[in-house]
Each structure stands twice: as structure tokens, then as C-alpha cells.
């Protein structure tokens, strides 16, 4: 017996899907619009990235972040700003932004550096969780790689510390100043020195891994090239650190939340 096959009209299928999607949006309390309340369109990828890192980085538990994403220009700009006044930042999640135009001019905002007889310190990042805990400001560039199982190694040298003359600052003090919108913290202090960070993926052996040219041990076969650098780690020495300009880059901040 010949059977007749009925095919549902394509338009009806699309209409059904549209109705289901619309109902789902209403049920979730959504308006179906991709435009934020401020009128700016938010991309799905940007929103996803914010949600991904938002719950993994908490400034309250990371008040001494390493600034591994800064290049030489960022570092020199920061020091220039610190020489003219207190530095304010917007620190949220895994992102820290210096507000260059915020704050009054005050050349005594920071004390002179206190030089120290430092030594090479090492930080190993073996998991994604360790990345967020130890290097939160590196989440944007290294997060996906750490999630995929890549491991990282960082070495740093602190040659000195520079602290602010004020121990606290209130939001009320900034309220009438231009350029301070969004400020959440001020930089109470920062470490001077140098650092180098690289991946262990291409290293032949994880034990004793070091960076080329820093003189911190490790054979040529077990060394790895640094992907991110601040200052020149190989020039750092505990002898008269105040004279080694290439080991005086800001590498780590100490931030305090505005009251």
C-alpha cells in the first residue's frame, strides 16, 4: 500500500521555534534586547569573559598583585605619576587600571625608596586555580592556557620598596576631583625590581628551570625563554641595588581600598 508522507511547512517550523524562544526570554525576565541599560551594546564574548573571570579574582584577597601585563611604557608612566602624586586605580575582578588623571598633585605622596638586599624568588603556576590566586592580573592573557593544562614559572627580584605617606584615603576626598570616576583603590606602596615569566611547556625538565641570562642556576637545556618581563632580571644584585637602574622597575603593587 502506498503511504503518503506529510511534510510540515518550513514556515510553521520557524514560527514554532520563534515562539518558543520568545517564551523562554519572557520566562527568564529578559526583554530580548542585547543593548545594555546605558545604551552600549555588549558583545556576547565580552560578557562571557567578564563572567568567567569575575568569580575567580577577588581584589580583597589579592591586595598585592604582580603587574606582569605592564610593558616598559606602562612602568615608566606609573613611576612618573607616582613622582607627582598618589596613584589611584580601578581594581575589579582580574583587571586593574591606573587612573592617570585622578588625584591632586603632591610630590611628597610617596617616600623615597627603601633599598633591600634581595634575592631571586620563584613562583610556579601548575593549575588554573593557582594562576588566579598568585597572578590574578595575568588571567586575561594566560587563563585559557592554564585551563588547558599549561604550566608557568616566574622569577623575580625585589630591590626596593616605596610606600605612600598616607595610610588611607576616602571616597569623599575624591568626590570633587576630576578624572576619578570608578576609582576603587589607591596604591599604598610598590616593589621595585625585575621579573621574568615563561611557559614550562617547551622546557625539557621542570626541576631547576630557570630563565636564560639571569644567572640563577639551571643548565642551558633546562632553561626557558621568558614571555613577560619587567626590568632586566640578570642585572639584579643585592650589592648596592640603588645603583642598578635596570632592576628598579615596578613589579608588584600594594593597594588599599578607598574608605
pLDDT band at 216 (very low <50, low <70, confident <90, very high): very low
pTM as predicted = 0.73
The whole-number pLDDT of residue 28 equals 40
pLDDT band at 200 (very low <50, low <70, confident <90, very high): confident
Per residue, the 3-state secondary structure of the chain, as one string, reads CCCCCCCCCHHHHHHHHHHHHHHHHHHCCCCCCCECCCCCECCHHHHHHHHHHHCCCCHHHCCCCECCCCCHHHHHHHHHHHCCCCCEEEEECCEEEECCCCCCCCCCCECCCEECCCCEEEEEECCHHHHHHHCHHHHHHHHHHHHCCCCEEEEEEEEEEEEECCCCCCHHHHCCCCCCCCCCEEEEEEEEEEEEEEECCCCCCCCCCEECCCCCCCCHHHEECCCEEECCHHHCCCCCHHHCHHHCEEEEEEEEECC
For residue 219, pLDDT beyond 60: no
The whole-number pLDDT of residue 202 equals 60
The whole-number pLDDT of residue 207 equals 52
The whole-number pLDDT of residue 15 equals 35
Candidate from 22-26, 73-77, 79-83, 183-187 with smallest mean pLDDT: 22-26
pLDDT band at 46 (very low <50, low <70, confident <90, very high): very low
Percent of the chain with pLDDT over 70: 70
Instruction: Determine the average pLDDT of the residues in 117-135.
Output: 94
pLDDT band at 199 (very low <50, low <70, confident <90, very high): very high
Instruction: Determine the average pLDDT of the residues in 169-193.
Output: 94
The whole-number pLDDT of residue 158 equals 97
Mean pLDDT over the full length of the chain: 79
The whole-number pLDDT of residue 8 equals 45
Amino acid at each position: 500500500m502506498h503511504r503518503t508522507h506529510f511534510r510540515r511547512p518550513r514556515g510553521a517550523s520557524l514560527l514554532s521555534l520563534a515562539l518558543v524562544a520568545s517564551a523562554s526570554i519572557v520566562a527568564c525576565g529578559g526583554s530580548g534586547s542585547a543593548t545594555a541599560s546605558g545604551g552600549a551594546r555588549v558583545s556576547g564574548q565580552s560578557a562571557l569573559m567578564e563572567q568567567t573571570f569575575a568569580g575567580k579574582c577577588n581584589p580583597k584577597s589579592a591586595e598585592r598583585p604582580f603587574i606582569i601585563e605592564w610593558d616598559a611604557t606602562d612602568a615608566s608612566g606609573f613611576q612618573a605619576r607616582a613622582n607627582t602624586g598618589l596613584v589611584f586605580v580601578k581594581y575589579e575582578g582580574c583587571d586593574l587600571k591606573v587612573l592617570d588623571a585622578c588625584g591632586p598633585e603632591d610630590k611628597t605622596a610617596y617616600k623615597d625608596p627603601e633599598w633591600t638586599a634581595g634575592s631571586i624568588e620563584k613562583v610556579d603556576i601548575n593549575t588554573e586555580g593557582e594562576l588566579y590566586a598568585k597572578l590574578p592580573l595575568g588571567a586575561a592573557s594566560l587563563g585559557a592556557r592554564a585551563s588547558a593544562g599549561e604550566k608557568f614559572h616566574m622569577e623575580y627580584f625585589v630591590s626596593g620598596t616605596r610606600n605612600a605617606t598616607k595610610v588611607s584615603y576616602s571616597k569623599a576626598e575624591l568626590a570633587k576631583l576630576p578624572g576619578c570616576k570608578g576609582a576603587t583603590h589607591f596604591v599604598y606602596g610598590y616593589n621595585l625590581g625585575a621579573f621574568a615569566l615563561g611557559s614550562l611547556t617547551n622546557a625539557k625538565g621542570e626541576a631547576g628551570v630557570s630563565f636564560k641570562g639571569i644567572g640563577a642556576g639551571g643548565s642551558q637545556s633546562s632553561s626557558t625563554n621568558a614571555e613577560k618581563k619587567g626590568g632586566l632580571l640578570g642585572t639584579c644584585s643585592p650589592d648596592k641595588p640603588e645603583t642598578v637602574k635596570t632592576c628598579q622597575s615596578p613589579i608588584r603593587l600594594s593597594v588599599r581600598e578607598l574608605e
